[in-house]
Amino acid sequence: MGKAFKVYDIHCGRCGAYILTYHKHGSGKGIIRLYFHNIIGPSEWSNLQNSSDKGKRMLQCAACSEVLGNPVLDKGNKWAFRMRKGLFHRKLKKR
Ligand SMILES: [Zn+2]
């Protein structure tokens, strides 16, 4: 099957605003962490892994300021947002 992944749109759980698009690899159902390198847009978030701001910025809704996730450095030295349960919605996109 190769490198299978699913594409999710992440929305704010409070106001419903679109936040970002994510490529989820692996078979796990839940989204616990959003790895920076799997965020594909918008550039505000997809460029974060190349930014000196990584690790300082929380994943925050531009519309209502709700914080959806906190930056964490994974064991493999990869940056991710640890998502706050119930504060975001994900929608599987058809490919
Ligand atoms: Zn919001």
Number of domains in the chain: 1
Domain that holds residue 67: 5-93
Query: Does the predicted TM-score (pTM) go above 0.85?
Result: yes
Which burial class, exposed, middle or buried, applies to 10 when counting CB atoms under 10 A from its CB (0-12, 13-18, 19+)? buried
Are 36 and 78 in contact by the 8 Å Cβ rule? The answer is: yes
* Helix, strand or coil, per DSSP, at residue 64: coil
Alpha-carbon distance of 23 to 62, in angstroms, equals 21
Helix, strand and coil percent figures for the chain, each rounded to 5: 10, 45, 45
> Is residue 25 scored above 70 in pLDDT?
yes
The domain that holds 28 is classified in CATH as: 2.170.150
Tens of pLDDT, residues 29-70: 789 999 999 999 999 999 999 999 899 999 999 999 999 999
* Amino acid residing at 55: G
Residues 6+ apart with CB under 8 A from 27: none
In the structure, ligand 1 is a single-atom ion and the residues with CB under 5 Å from it are: 12, 14-15, 17, 61, 63-64, 66
Ligand 1 centre to CA of 2 (Å) is 35
Tokens of 64: 């209502």
